[in-house]
Amino acid sequence: MKIARDFLVLGSGLAGLTFALKVAKYGSVALITKDALEESATRYAQGGIASVMAEDDSVDLHVSDTIEAGRGLCQEDVVRCIIREGPAQIRELIQLGAQFTRTGSKDFHLTREGGHSKRRILHADDLTGWEIERTLIAAVRNQPNIDIYTFHMGIDIITRSNLDPKISPGGPGDEAVGLYVLDEATGEVITFVGKVVLLATGGAGKVYLYTSNPDTATGDGVALAYRSGAKIANMEFFQFHPTCLYHPQAKSFLISEAMRGEGGLLRLKNGDTFMENYHPLGCLAPRDVVARAIDHEMKKSGDDCVYLDVTHMEGYRIRERFPNIYKTCQSFGFDMTQQPLPVVPAAHYMCGGVMVDLNGQTNIPRLFASGETCYSGLHGANRLASNSLLEGLVLSHRAAAKAIGLLQLTPGLSALQEIIPEWDSGSAVESDESVVVSHNWDEIRRLMWNYVGIVRSNKRLYRARRRIAMLLEEIKEYYWSFNLTKDTLELRNIAITAQLIIHGALERQESRGLHFTLDFPDPDNKGPVKNTVLQDDTQRLITSKPAEQFKNDRA
């Protein structure tokens, strides 16, 4: 089955929904997401969205804070552009119906988080992401040009290089023309044909054993882009959120950084504070510093966690400012007005990703990426707190403007439909070895946590590289032999994403930002700081046909 739309959007968080809304006025849109429409990392963002909204703040100050956190790898033109254009895009969100917390009838209640010199975080209590997601979903559902495909998962991007062996993946003449997508309910593979493809699939926290991310965060966009020949940058920089609730049933429930912004203190088991020993800003130091400090203290003491203490604050303030966190912690038996919360770091945000310019354009024409999936140059080696929603908002706006301009320069959809083959499952059969998927999934997440975590070494990284190469071979064999399932596709994607993180970490022979290695504990400041860019221009589309040559090319 073939479905043709002008714009194909993969992902339904802030980045995907914003892009879909803005392009829908100019053409037809297929909004494709592998889970329910509202299930994305955006939904779970607690802290807020950073933007210059106060009189005592400025673009220059926000730019300076962002660059300081990024440890020499931020692109200043990108940082300045996104921060400058942020307030206008936030006002558009408000016009759509988003309601941010205010101190009165007019002024926003702005909070402060680690690395920020001013209070500039807009929030909707501690459910900011859900308020934004709710607002955008309502707008999308009222847009007749948008067709929504839930529980549909992208398999691979279709490019010109897949259709013409003379064109090199990611090289001259290549461009995105569609997607192969799995209908999870029926098992059917649908061929989506489009003039523009946007990847907005979120992050890859599920690559690690412990993560604050939802189950959807399996690195899909990065893996799809890499297989298509797109450039991937700085995957070694994976941010670990310092404070996730330590409880066996909590699934690393995030305790917002805003809690430290409001005065929360990190303590050891004996009650001593420790962050003042690591950074002048203490508990408000950037996340990479706080996460490493906690990791070091836990290893030094042998304790399973540290503690976040807000008991010195008035109970009503805590309940009013953090109602969702308060209720959730209470459900696990913790009253944070009376006792410190046990917390540990967990994988939180992928600062690397699909390399894009200021318009969200990848090196493959007509293939765009936005949000956590991409690497724009905003975050550098360490993301400043609450800059992620800002990036997705502004970059999707700019990508939409660029994509709209491409419509008139594109062949008709009917012409594209004729040249793109439908999926052919070949000799694949139903699997009787699903245990392979679950076992490999568990092994990847454990080896990434143990060998490629907060603190690294070459010995651990080489061990991880050898094992991930073996696992990829097993996964490849399984992929070719059996009919596709969501679990199989996610396993393949986390394995490829894990491989890219490992390769990036080995390439960077220094410690910088979120990448800390015992073999090179200091930053290399002898010359210009370089991005780690990975690209596989030998890749061919991994399908069980539609052309047998693709399988032969990869053999």
Residue 221's SS3 state is helix
Residue 303's SS3 state is coil
Return the residue matching tokens 């994988």: 347
Which of 287, 398, 445, 492 is catalytic? The answer is 287
Give the separation between CA 32 and CA 249, rounded to whole angstroms: 31
Q: Based on C-alpha coordinates, what's the Rg of the chain?
A: 23
What is residue 254's DSSP assignment? B
Instruction: Give CA separation, 54 vs 3, 57, 120, 122, 287, in Å.
Output: 47, 5, 7, 10, 24
Contact 475, 444 (CB under 8 A): no
Give the separation between CA 390 and CA 372, rounded to whole angstroms: 11
Q: Is 125 left (phi over 0), alpha (psi -120 to 50) or beta?
A: left
Token pair, residue 222, equals 């990065």
460: annotated active-site residue: no
Q: Which residues pair with 102 in a beta bridge?
A: 108
Give the separation between CA 454 and CA 101, rounded to whole angstroms: 34
Give the separation between CA 226 and CA 353, rounded to whole angstroms: 10
Residue 552's SS3 state is helix
**Hey, which residues are catalytic here?**
287
